Amino acid sequence: MRDLLWLVPAFPLAGFLVNGLVYLFSHRTSGAPHPPADQAAAESSEAAGHPHAHVHLETEPKWKTLHTIVGTGSVALSGIFAFGAILDLGIPALSHGAHHLLTLWRWIPLGVNQATGQVPGPLGEWFVDMALSLDSLSALMIAFVTFVGFLIHVYSVGYMGHDAGYGRYFAYLNLFMFSMLTLVLAANFLLMFVGWEGVGLCSYLLIGYDYHKKFAADAGKKAFVVNRIGDFGFILGIFGVFALFGTLDFGKVFAAAASNPAAYAPWMTLVCLCLFLGAAGKSAQVPLHVWLPDAMAGPTPVSALIHAATMVTAGVYMVARCNVLFRLSPDALLVVAIVGGFTALFAATIGLVQNDIKKVLAYSTVSQLGYMFLACGVGAFVAGMFHVLTHAFFKACLFLGSGSVIHALGGEQDLRRMGGLARKIPVTYATFLTATFAIAGVPLLAGFFSKDAILAAVFEAHFRQAPWLPKLLWMAALFTAGLTAFYMFRLVSLAFYGTFRGTAEQAAHVHESPKSMTVPLIVLAFLSVVGGWIGIPIIRGGDRIGRFLSPIVPALAGARAEEHAAPVSLEVALMAASVAVAMIGLLLAYLWYAKGEGRVPARLAERFPALYRVVANKYYVDEAYDALFVEGLAKSGGRFLWEVDATVVDLIPNGAAAATRGAAWLSHFFDKYFVDGAVNGVADSLQGGFRLLRRAQTGRVQNYALVMGAGLFCIVAVYLIFR
C-alpha cells in the first residue's frame, strides 16, 4: 500500500483532467455562453463569489452528475489511499521515525555523479528525482488535507450547485488538491516548489473564479503578485540550499546540516530568511498579508479550503519541514517569532472593526497564522503544527458556516444587515458557535489545547539576543487571544443574535442549507471539539501529537525540553491566564453586541474617530503600496515603455530618411526618452511617494512634536536594547 502513495496526488490530477476536458467539451458544443445573461444584474450585486447572485445558465444535469462524482470521488479515493499508506506504515512506526521514500523516476538527470548515495562532493548532485516521502509530518498533513478537502468538496456540491461553471470549479479544485498533496509529499525542495507554485496558480484561478467581476479578477491578480514576491524569496532560499549542500533532497540536506552544524551555520541565517520570505508570502504574514482579505472575493468553499485550511498553512509546513535549518540560525527564528507575533496582533486589531463576515474570518486567519509562525519562531514547531491541524478544523467550519449564512440570506455578506438568525438556521448556528468557542480557546475544545501550547512555549522561550522578548511576545499573544475571542463572538452576535436587520425579502427566504452543506459543517464542528484531544499533555512534553511528530520536529528547540521542564503550577497559571482572557473577550463581546446592540462600540468609534478610521482602513497598508509601487513604478515604467515602443515602430518606415535627419533624430531620441524619461520616471515615482508623505505635513506643531517624540523614544529604545 505504501508504494501506491503516488496515487494520493494522482487521483486529484486525474479528476482535474477529466473535469476540465469534459467542461471544455460540454461548453464548446452546448454553446452555453460564459458572460452572464444579465450583465447588469451580475455587476450590481454586491455579493462576491456567491453563485445565486449571478446565476445565468445552470450546468446540464448529466454533466453535473459527472463533475460531482469525479470531483468528490477523486478526493475520496485520494484520502482512502492516503490513510491506507499511513496505516500500512503504522502510526507507532511513524512516531519512531519510520519514513518511506517512493522514487518514481529521475526527473532532472543531469550531471556526472549519479551512483553514490552519500552527500556528493564539490560538483553537487545535479539530479532531482520525482520522489514522494511519507513520514510523520507529511502523514499528518495529507490526513487532514484529504479529509477536510473531501468535506469541502461535498459542501461545494451544494453551494455551487446552481453555477454554470460547476465543472470548471471542480476541475480547479482538483488541480489544487493535486498541487497541495504534491507540495506536502515532496521529498525534495524542487518538487515542493512545483506544488508551491501550483497552489499559487490555483489560488489565482479560484479567487478569480467569477472573472466577470472586476474586483474578483483583481483580487486574483493581487494574490498571485504578492505570492510571487514570496516565491522570489523561496527560490533564493532554494538556490542557497543547493549552493551550501549540493543537493535538494530533504533527507540529505537535513542530515548534513544536523551532522555538521558549524560548517553551515554562518550562511544559514540568510538562507532561512529567504525561505521565510516565501513562507510569509504564502501564509500572508505582514507585510505580504494584503492579498488574503481580498481573496475573499472567491467562492466561500474556496476560502475555506485554500485560504484557511490548506494553502496558507503550506508556509508553516515548509518552516516545520526545514526546522533543522532554522534551528541552526537563532536570528532567523527571532525574525520568524517577531513577524508572527506582530502579524497576530496586527490582524486581530483589524478584524475587530470589519463589517463583512468573510473579511473578519480572513483577518482571523492571518492572525492565527501569525500564531503558528510565532510558535515556530520560539522553537515549538510541534505546537505550530498542532495549531495548523486544529485551525484547519475550526476555520474551515467557520468559513463553511459563513457560506451557509450567505446562502441562507441570498448573497448578503454585510454583518450590519444580519441578526437574529440563530432560530432560523439552527444547524449552521450551532456548528458556527462550536467553532467560535474552539477558536476562542474555550477549555477542552481544540483551539484551547493548541493555543495554550503555543502560549506556554512562548512564555518559556529564550532569546539570547533579547531576553525580554518572550515575555513581550507572550503578552501580545495573550492580548491577541482575548481579541480573537472578542471579535469572533462579535461576529456570532451580529449574525445570529438580536433582531434581523436585513430586508423583508431576505427574511422571507431564510432557509437552512441542504444536507450536502450541513453534514460537513457538523463533521467539522465535531472535529473542532475532539481534534485537540491528541495534544493533551499527559506528562510535561509528552502529548500524543508531540510524540508522533518527534522524529521530524522537536517539541521544543534543542535538548532544552528536558532540563527546562517548567513547574506544573506555572503551566496551570498560564492556562488560567489564557482561559481568563478568552472568557473576558467572549463576555465583553456578548455584553456589547448581543445585549447592548452595539451601542458602546458605536460610541467608542465616535470618541476616537481618527483611531477607528485608521484601523478600519487596515492601517492604510494597501494605500501605501498603491502609492509607492503601483503608481510610482507601474505608471512611469509603463509610460516609458510605451514611448520607446511607439518610437521603435515608427523608426522602421522612417529609416529611409536622410542620414543627418537620422543622426539628429537619434540624439533627440536619447535626450527626450532616455534622459527625460528617466527624469520623469524618477519624478513620477517620487511624486507617488510624496503624495503619501504630504499627509504628514499637517501644519500643526504639536503633531510634529508627537512624531519627534515618538522617534526619539524609538531611538532611545533601540539604544537600550542593543547596548
Partner 1 sequence: MTITINHFLVVSFLLFSIGLLGVLVRRNFLTVLMSVELMLNAVNLNLIAFSRRLSDLTGQVFSVFVITIAAGEAAIGLALTISLFRQRRTLNVEDASSMQG
Partner 2 sequence: MTAAQAVPGALLTGAAGWMFVVFAVLALGMAVAVVVARNPIHSALFLLSSFLLVACIFILQQAEFVGAVQILVYAGGIMVLFLFVIMLVHQRGVQERLTFQHQWDVALLFLLVFLLPFLYVLWTERFPELPQNLDAFRMVKGKIAGNTEAVAWVLYRDYLLPFEVASVFLLVAMVGAVVLGKRSAEKVD
Query: 109 pairs with which residues across the strands?
Result: 127
Q: Which one, 123 or 706, has the nearer CB to partner 2?
A: 706
CA distance 484 to 364: 7
Query: How many chain residues interact with partner 1 (CB under 8 A)?
Result: 10
Contact 352, 490 (CB under 8 A): yes
Residue 659 partner contact from partner 1, partner 2, none using kind-dependent CB cut-offs of 5 to 8 Å: none
Identify which range of 378-386, 452-460, 567-575, 703-711 contacts partner 2 by CB under 8 A. Answer: 703-711
Residue appearing with cell numbers 474552539: 438
CA distance 458 to 462: 9
CA distance 547 to 125: 33
What is the smallest separation between the CB atom of 259 and partner 1, expressed in angstroms? 50
Q: Does 706 bind partner 1 (CB under 8 A)?
A: yes
Q: Does 611 bind partner 1 (CB under 8 A)?
A: no
Options 508, 610, 656, 659; binder of partner 2; rule CB under 8 A? 610
Residue 29 partner contact from partner 1, partner 2, none using kind-dependent CB cut-offs of 5 to 8 Å: none
Residue 608 partner contact from partner 2, partner 1, none using kind-dependent CB cut-offs of 5 to 8 Å: partner 2
Provide Rg for the chain, Cα atoms.
27
What is the smallest separation between the CB atom of 697 and partner 2, expressed in angstroms? 15
Options 600, 703, 708, 715; binder of partner 2; rule CB under 8 A? 703
Identify which range of 57-65, 164-172, 357-365, 606-614 contacts partner 2 by CB under 8 A. Answer: 606-614
Q: Which one, 423 or 695, has the nearer CB to partner 1?
A: 695
CA distance 596 to 598: 5
3-state helix, strand, coil in the chain (%, to 5): 75, 5, 20
Identify which range of 50-58, 90-98, 208-216, 603-611 contacts partner 2 by CB under 8 A. Answer: 603-611
Q: Which one, 570 or 693, has the nearer CB to partner 1?
A: 693
What is the smallest separation between the CB atom of 688 and partner 1, expressed in angstroms? 17
Q: How many Å separate Cα 358 from the centre of its chain?
A: 14
Q: Does 503 bind partner 1 (CB under 8 A)?
A: no
Q: Name the 3-class secondary structure at 208.
A: coil
Q: Does 570 bind partner 2 (CB under 8 A)?
A: no
Q: Does 611 bind partner 2 (CB under 8 A)?
A: yes
Length of the chain: 723
**Burial bucket for residue 19 (CB in 10 Å: 0-12, 13-18, 19+):** buried
Q: Which one, 682 or 716, has the nearer CB to partner 2?
A: 716
CA distance 319 to 326: 8
Helices (H), 531-598: 544-549, 560-563, 568-589
Per the structure block, which three cell numbers stand in for 465? 539576543
CA distance 654 to 464: 69
Query: How many chain residues interact with partner 2 (CB under 8 A)?
Result: 13
Q: What is the pattern of x (binds partner 1, CB under 8 A) and - over residues 664-703?
A: ------------------------------x--xxxxxx-
Q: Name the 3-class secondary structure at 502.
A: coil
Q: Which one, 584 or 705, has the nearer CB to partner 1?
A: 705
Residue 610 partner contact from partner 1, partner 2, none using kind-dependent CB cut-offs of 5 to 8 Å: partner 2
Q: Does 713 bind partner 2 (CB under 8 A)?
A: yes
Binding to partner 2, residues 226-255 (CB under 8 A): none
DSSP letter string over 322-381? Answer: THHHHHT-HHHHHHHHHHHHHHHHHHHHHHTT--BHHHHHHHHHHHHHHHHHHHHHTT-H
What is the smallest separation between the CB atom of 607 and partner 1, expressed in angstroms? 15
CA distance 377 to 375: 5
Q: How many Å separate Cα 11 from the centre of its chain?
A: 24
Q: Which one, 667 or 702, has the nearer CB to partner 2?
A: 702
Q: Does 465 bind partner 2 (CB under 8 A)?
A: no
Q: Name the 3-class secondary structure at 553.
A: coil
CA distance 672 to 679: 10
What is the smallest separation between the CB atom of 692 and partner 1, expressed in angstroms? 14
CA distance 661 to 652: 14
Residue 109 partner contact from partner 1, partner 2, none using kind-dependent CB cut-offs of 5 to 8 Å: none
What is the smallest separation between the CB atom of 610 and partner 2, expressed in angstroms? 7
What is the smallest separation between the CB atom of 709 and partner 1, expressed in angstroms? 6
Q: Name the 3-class secondary structure at 465.
A: coil
Identify which range of 83-91, 169-177, 452-460, 602-610 contacts partner 2 by CB under 8 A. Answer: 602-610
Q: Name the 3-class secondary structure at 128.
A: strand
Q: Give helix then strand counts, H and E, for the chain.
A: 32, 2
Q: What is the pattern of x (binds partner 1, CB under 8 A) and - over residues 82-121?
A: ----------------------------------------
Identify which range of 122-130, 391-399, 552-560, 699-707 contacts partner 2 by CB under 8 A. Answer: 699-707
Query: 356 pairs with which residues across the strands?
Result: 414
**Residue type (1 letter), 710:** A
Options 87, 646, 717, 718; binder of partner 2; rule CB under 8 A? 717
Query: What is the contact surface with partner 2 in residues (CB under 8 A)?
Result: 607-608, 610-611, 702-703, 706, 709-710, 713, 716-717, 720
Which residues of this protein are in contact with partner 1, per CB under 8 A?
Answer: 694, 697-702, 705-706, 709
